[in-house]
Structure 1
């Protein structure tokens, strides 16, 4: 049995508590965020992904809002926003070993969305 639910070519972990009807909307929000805000990404380890974001204040606010809401339904994610040099904006995403496949899917989706913009 798969531990993911396919939703319109997307992945959703089974332990996500976001109501099924709201999942396509959240995926669309992530797609928009990937297309508009992400400038690059690095896979630092199997369990750690780093997005390089547009450094604008609106991007930071959008990232905080989206990651806060995502953490409330998928509690295994750990998100961290930082400005290492005061200008650039980084979003670190970490998952426990049991959810590496979810991080793999997140990378694939982000790359796919960025490649199609």
Structure 2
């Protein structure tokens, strides 16, 4: 079964085996507004935890997407180049940004579960 964790930067990471799928949360896409451009990282790129590795641009702003954990990019969501609106329509589904092979599963322990993330978002007021 997949485990989903969240960051304070509003990324989600869904882990199945040793591969993590990364995207932005419903809250993040609401804050961005209509997404008009997405840049995903290249396959084979090694990323450190917290490293900016993708970009999302909306009608309001451009934001970096950070790697919630360290690893090697194994897939970028190329469909977002033609359909950046998928990030708004399905941020936790087909609007995912990239997949990476985990370097250290223990890094997941520092991330929030859904209940903690929901409480975090509510605290933002």
**TM-score in same-fold range (> 0.5):** no
Normalised by the length of structure 2, the TM-score is: 0.36
Between structures 1 and 2, the one with greater strand share: 2
Normalised by the length of structure 1, the TM-score is: 0.38
Between structures 1 and 2, the one with greater helix share: 1
